[in-house]
Amino acid sequence: MQFNNPFFIILFAVFFLLYWLFSWRVQNLLLVLASYAFYALWGWPAAIILLGVSLTAFMAGVGIERMKPRCLRLTVVVASLTALFLLLFYAKYGQFIGVGVNAIFSLFSNERQFDVFQILIFTGVSFFVLRGAGYILDVYWGRIYVTTDLVSFLAYISFFPQLLSGPIERASSLLPKLQNSRHLDREQAIDAVGQFIWGFFKKSVIADGMAIYIGQYYRDPSYSQGWELAAGTYMFAVQLYCDFSGYSDMALGLGRLLGFRGVSNFATPYFSQSVGEFWSRWHITLVSWFRDYVYVPMGGNRCGIGRKWINVMVVFGLSGLWHGTGWNYLWWGLINGMIFLAFSWMERDKTARVSTPAGEAMIPGVLSFGRMVVVFHLILFTWIFFRAGSAGDAFTIIGRITKAPIGPLSFYSGLVIPIGLTVFLFSLEWLQRRKEHVLSLGTWPVPLQWLTYLATTFLVACFGNFTHVPFIYFKF
Amino acid sequence: MFPSYTSNSRAKQILPFWFFIEGVLWFTPLWILILVFEVSMWRSGEILPLRLVARYQAQNESKIVFMRRYFDQGLYRLKYLSIQQQRPDVLILGTSRVMQIRREMFGMDRREVYNAGGMIQHLRDLGEFTASLDSSYYPRVVIIGVEPWWFNQKWAEMAEKDKHFLSMMFQDGSQDVFAHSAVFQSFIRSLFLGSGERQIIEDVFSGWQGSSNRGSLFLGFAALDKKTGFRPDGSLDYGHSVLPRSDWEFTDREAPPIIERIRLRKQGFEPVAGLSSASVDKLRINLKRLRSKGIMVICFAPPFSSESISAIENISDLNKFWHEYLTIIPILVNEEGGTYLDVSRPEKVGMDDRSMVDGMHAMETFHVALLKKMAEDPELRRILRLNQDRLIQILANKFSNFWFPKYQ
């Protein structure tokens, strides 16, 4: 069940009323029950895996705290992380490897050597494994105190608004909130409703609306024209952003209605003026996770330029592998790494994120706008690998776009709706780029805020796509 | 109106509930529209669960006709549930081309006859349905309209993949939240944007009146509007206006016309060298299965219009297939202990193209003639308990036209 399912909204409303009747300890228990029930809709084995990951991380934390010799503590860390990442590896790559092994054995024998048994794909496993792993490392490095409150820890790992596709909230951020009473602030709650509705709009109207066109063009790239593939790639950039950030907004809105202010996962990334800035604005929690738990422990940029380059390529390569099993995802990661390094070498110390994209001016300067366009197109190039069915398809697409990037006018006249939606989206995001989300209308009178949310809901009702289109990041 | 956040802990406790009420109140226009929509859909019978439709049709003597306009008819599920409810002695199976066979043709009180036309779209359906029959219920007789495209390998490979009996027997489109959302969206768009069919606005605001009309019950907006739909015996009330004899002439009313499908070699008329042996084997297995359960089988080849048959016979990459369909299938059915009737043309039952509503759907009168042909066989007459004289009278009645016979 996804957040844009009307049935989910009804269930959440009932849960909301029940939740606020009780103290924080009972609230945590309700969160655990609701989260596991929510996840079990994907199958009870999934809920068991979730429990297994949670208990592994919890007991690892306790073990690290209680064992005094460093070697024992390290053993616990290594063993628990190995278990978690083996599970993740199995879930993502098990079938891929099984097919490969059979292919090798079939060279020697006509009989299949190994059964490629059905690998259960657990939606969200990539996310909650990182939450658990992050907790273990934070305890080991002394960044947080270990928790012995099992219920709040289970609630942290399984927190249903963030369970399936993040944000990957750190234990240091969410656990203390779970272990204290929480309150609902009316203005924040109204804003949370707006955030949820805006996320719903992005997913249902824009992302799912674009999906129809992209599917047509990308289905068989060898039969699509270069301009069709180019248009599809632009639309995919919008679809991916709206789908993922839409989910994040819905997740954050729901979390806020339960008293938790989560970490933002997107901050108008397509207005970035450098590649480094882009990666500080896109899937923020994943990027920061890889930075803090992979890049920095490997030495980061403290061990010389050569080592920095290796570390960056490793991080981007792992990020690619985290996203998917195909070679196209690895290509995506490595190409992004190379672009990042090239840009950071050219920009030196200008890769940091600025607080307001492209500055405070309402109309960006020519240079700012130019930089935004360049960065956008560099990222757009990498999205080809992300969307293509394989690395081969990606290169085919690039080849066809290069040969015929622009089509007849009649082709573009059929894209009025997606173009219109894109202009609408980016105009609003530009105007509201200082805010957490477009419908953050805190300075408006409350009745006007509600009316705006109602109007947006009617827009979703009129223009939303109500066929079952899963969130893109569910497959990761 | 709202308690201050900082005032006291009691205020903090009740704030979420006040906030909830505030939110619900601001969205009142939306709730009202949803309520109007859902209540109308319910009262009109449009979203009545199919298990209730099947139950009402089985339990009531009065005419209850069902046809939805905005949601999927759920024919697989409706027919399956009706079979479970009614446990017919004589069961008619096949596609839409058998839907005009009515209980009244067998006799006015023949409640043991049920038409499950629409539930068997291909041989995979037939296999899954026959396999589902267990000792708790078997029909005594099944009458199967055997379609030619069931044996067209190209058509069958595509058709049998997604929608089939086992995947569809539990599906009731009106109970799917996304289906409701999509129909509600059509309503909202018509209401606020003037786009799409205005009909849905009229339906939603009239559906409150409910589903009964002059003692009969019409379930679903299409049934309410056109007074047509699926009868309690499973047959389809077509509801076309009766024409005077002078106006009768054949018109292919299907879209696209059947003759176009044949000429374009699509929708069951894909060019193939001959009958698919795999499909022939499937039919044989199903016939054996039915015989092993003691069920008598009567198969027939449903009719095409003369122009359709002429087209098939003159197309080189179809005529061999057609010839095999007319020769191999009868032999197979007879070998497996069944009875086969070739009524692939209206002339075979003494009628002509005027008894066809389009290039491949014959109307009720044709099917009375079909039963009359069956009644000519003493064994079939006995098995189906047909009254041959009555069938002759029906056809001879001056009020019987090419489509609608007068039964009494």
DSSP codes of every residue in A115-157: ----PPP-TTHHHHHHHHHHHHHHHHTTSS-----HHHHHHHH
Tokens encoding B398 = 């001056």
* Helix segments in A220-363, DSSP class H: 226-257, 275-279, 284-290, 305-323, 327-347
Distance CA B102, CA B85 (A): 18
Tell me how far apart the alpha carbons of residues B52 and B59 are, in angstroms, rounded to a whole number.
10
Question: Considering only alpha carbons, which residue of chain A is nearest residue B182?
Answer: A466
Q: What is the pLDDT of residues B250-261, one digit of tens each?
A: 888 888 889 899
Min Cα–Cα distance to chain A from B52, Å? 23
Q: Which residue of A has its CA nearest to B15?
A: A184
Question: B26 to chain A: which residues are within 8 Å by CB?
Answer: 447, 450-451, 453-454
CA angle, corner A237, sides to A292 and A329, nearest 5? 55
B177–A462 C-beta distance less than 8 A: no
Residue type, B378: P
List the single best residue of B20, B24, B36, B175 to mutate versus A (max A Cβ within 10 A): B20
| Cβ neighbours of residue A475 closer than 8 Å, sequence gap 6 or more | A121, A123, A324
Residues B257 and B83 sit within 8 Å (Cβ to Cβ): no
β-pair partners for B339: B298
Give the Cα separation of A471 and A466 in Å (integer).
Answer: 13
CA–CA separation, A160 vs A421, rounded Å? Answer: 30
Short-list B77, B135, B89, CA closest to B114: B89
Write down the residue that tokens 């249902």 correspond to. A204
Question: Which residues, 6 or more positions from A275, have their beta carbon under 8 angstroms from its beta carbon?
Answer: A339, A340, A343, A344, A351, A375, A378, A379
Alpha-carbon gap: B193 to the closest alpha carbon of chain A (Å) = 8
Any CB–CB contact under 8 A between A14 and chain B? no
Contacts of A11 in chain B (CB under 8 A): none
Asked whether the bond before B232 is cis by omega within 30 degrees of 0, the reply is no
Is A469 in CB contact (< 8 Å) with chain B? Answer: no
- A193 and B CB contact within 8 Å: yes
- Residue B3 is predicted with a pLDDT of 47
Best mutation target among A5, A11, A186 (most B Cβ atoms within 10 Å) is A186
Which chain B residue is nearest to residue A6, measuring alpha carbons?
B177
User: From CA A210, how far away is CA A213, in angstroms rounded?
Assistant: 6
**Residue A450 contacts B, CB cutoff 8 Å:** yes
Q: Using a CB–CB cutoff of 8 Å, tell me whether B12 touches chain A.
A: yes
Q: What is the Cα–Cα distance from B145 to A373, expressed in whole angstroms?
A: 64
On the question of a cis peptide bond just before residue A269, with omega within 30 degrees of 0, the verdict is no
Residue B32 has pLDDT above 60, yes or no: yes
- Residue A457 contacts B, CB cutoff 8 Å: yes
Smallest CA–CA distance from B18 into chain A, residue: A186
Contact B156, B279 (CB under 8 A): yes
Q: Would the CB atoms of B188 and A468 count as touching at under 8 Å?
A: no
Residue B263 structure tokens: 């000429």
Contacts of B323 (CB under 8 A, 6+ apart): none
Record: contact A450-B192, CB cut-off 8 A:
no
DSSP state letter for B362? B
- Name the average pLDDT for chain B: 90
Separation of alpha carbons B295 and B141, rounded Å: 6
**Interchain contact, A6 vs B177, CB within 8 Å:** yes
- For B186, name the nearest residue in chain A, comparing CA atoms only: A462
Residue A304's Cβ-count burial label (10 Å; 0-12, 13-18, 19+) is exposed
Q: Return d(Cα A39, Cα A309) in angstroms, integer.
A: 39
pLDDT of B297 strictly over 50: yes
Contact by Cβ (8 Å): A418, A213 = yes
* Burial class for A145, CB neighbours closer than 10 Å (0-12, 13-18, 19+): middle
Mutation target to probe the B interface, by most B beta carbons within 10 A, among A184, A258, A441 is A184
- Cα B338 to Cα B19: distance, rounded to the nearest angstrom: 70
* Residue of A183, A454, A467 lying closest to B29 (CB–CB): A454
A467 touches chain B (CB under 8 A): yes
In this complex, the residue of A17, A453, A457 whose CB is nearest that of residue B20 is: A17
CA–CA separation, A194 vs A457, rounded Å? 10
Among candidate residues A191, A204, A199, the one with its CA nearest the CA of residue A460: A204
* Residue B194 forms contact with A (CB below 8 Å): no
Q: Using the structure block, give the residue that is written with the tokens 């969206």.
A: B185
Q: Is A283 a catalytic residue?
A: no
C-alpha distance from residue A419 to each of A203, A206, A466, B389 (Å): 16, 10, 21, 71
Q: Which residue has the tokens 């009178």?
A: A445
Above 60 in pLDDT, residue B2?
Answer: no
Which DSSP letter does residue B113 get? Answer: E
pLDDT of residue A469: 64
Interface contact B13, partner A, CB < 8 A: yes
Alpha-carbon gap: B209 to the closest alpha carbon of chain A (Å): 26
Strand B141-145 and strand B90-94: the pairing is: parallel
Hey, which bits of A333-457 come out as E strands? none
Catalytic option among A183, A283, A323, A468: A323
Residues B188, A193: C-beta atoms closer than 8 Å? no
According to the model, what pLDDT value does residue A367 have?
87
B residues 317..356 contacting A (CB < 8 A): none
How far, in Å, CA of B345 to CA of B308, rounded?
10
Question: B137 touching A, CB under 8 A?
Answer: no
Instruction: Find tokens 């201050």 and name the residue.
Output: B4
Characterise A114 by phi-psi region: left (phi > 0), alpha (psi -120 to 50), beta (else). beta
Which ranges of B133-226 does DSSP label H, i.e. alpha helix?
Answer: 153-159, 165-168, 177-188, 199-206, 221-226
- Give me the half-sphere count of Cα atoms (radius 13 Å) on the Cβ side of residue B162: 3
Residues of chain B positioned with their CB less than 8 A from the CB of A457: 27, 30
The rounded average pLDDT for each run of 10 residues, N- to C-terminus, in chain A (476 residues) is: 86 96 95 95 87 96 90 93 92 73 69 50 84 96 93 96 90 94 92 96 92 86 88 94 94 96 92 91 94 91 86 92 84 92 73 65 85 94 90 90 87 88 93 91 92 95 79 66
Place of tokens 């005009």: B100
Flag whether residue B181 sits within 8 Å of chain A, measured between CB atoms: yes
Q: Can you name the residues that pair with B143 across neighbouring β-strands?
A: B92, B298
C-beta atoms of B19 and A186 within 8 A: yes
How far A183 CA sits from the closest chain B CA (Å)? 7
Distance to chain B for A348, nearest Cα, Å = 48
Tell me what pLDDT residue A118 has.
Answer: 46
Cβ B165 vs Cβ B78: under 8 Å: no
What does pTM read for this prediction? 0.86
Q: Do the beta carbons of residue A213 and residue A231 sit within 8 Å?
A: yes
3-state SS assignment for residue A173: helix
Task: Please identify among residues 350-369 of chain A the ones whose CB lies closer than 8 Å to any CB of chain B.
Answer: none
Angle between the B9-26 and A186-201 helix axes, to the nearest 10 degrees?
A: 40
A27 CB burial (10 A radius; 0-12, 13-18, 19+): buried
Would you call A6 and B192 a contact, using CB atoms and an 8 Å cutoff?
A: no
Strand duo B236-237 + B229-230: pairing: antiparallel
Query: In whole angstroms, what separates CA B124 from the centre of its chain?
Result: 17
Count of H helices and E strands in chain A?
20, 0
- Strand residue runs (E) in B279-399: 296-301, 339-342
B189 interface with A at CB cutoff 8 Å: yes
Residue A420: strand, helix, or coil = helix
Report DSSP state, residue B298. E
Pairwise CB contact (< 8 Å): A189 & B19: yes
Q: How many CA atoms lie within 13 A of B17 on its CB side?
A: 11
**Which regions of B266-342 does DSSP assign to beta strands (E)?**
296-301, 339-342
